Amino acid sequence: GKTDGSETTSNENQKLYYHRIGTSQEEDVLVAEFPDHPKWTVRSDVSDCGNYLIVCPQQDCRDNLVYFASLVEPLKEGINSKLELTPIITNFEADYDYVTNDGSVFHFRTNKNAPNYRIVSIDFNNPDINDWVTLVSEHPKDVLDWASAAAHDKLVVCYIHDVKSALSLLRLKDGSLVKNFPLEVGNVTEYSGKREHTDIFFQFTSFLSPGNIFHVDLADENMEARLFREVTLEGFDTSIFTTTQVFYPSKDGTQIPMFIVRKKDTPLNGNNLCLLGGGEYGENWHNGGRLLNKQNGFDDFHAAAEYLIDNNYTNPSKLVIQGGSNGGLLVGACVNQRPDLFGAAIAQVGVMDMLRFHKFTIGVVPLHSYKYIAEVQQKIGKLPSQTNPLMIRVDSKAGHGAGKPTTKLIDELTDVLSFVVQALDVKFHVNS
Q: What are the chain's domains?
A: 238-424 (3.40.50.1820)
Instruction: Say whether pTM exceeds 0.75.
Output: yes
Q: Find out whether 86 and 68 touch, Cβ atoms under 8 Å.
A: yes
Where residue 1 falls among pLDDT bands split at 50, 70, 90? low
Query: 320 or 400: which carries more pLDDT confidence?
Result: 320
Scanning 204-249, the segments in alpha helix (DSSP H) are none
Inter-CA distances, 183 with 69, 164, 180, 251, 356, Å: 39, 9, 9, 32, 43
343-354: average pLDDT: 90
**What is residue 58's predicted lDDT score, i.e. its pLDDT?**
96
Q: Find out whether 169 and 155 touch, Cβ atoms under 8 Å.
A: yes
pLDDT value at 281 more than 60:
no
The closest of 283, 282, 278, 291 to 250, measured between CA atoms, is: 278
Q: Find out whether 72 and 84 touch, Cβ atoms under 8 Å.
A: no
Q: What are phi and psi of 229, to 5 degrees?
A: -150, 130
373-402: average pLDDT: 88
Residue 385: how many other CB atoms lie within 10 Å: 6
pLDDT value at 165 more than 80:
yes
Weakest mean pLDDT among 18-27, 168-177, 291-300: 291-300
125-149: average pLDDT: 97
193-218: average pLDDT: 96
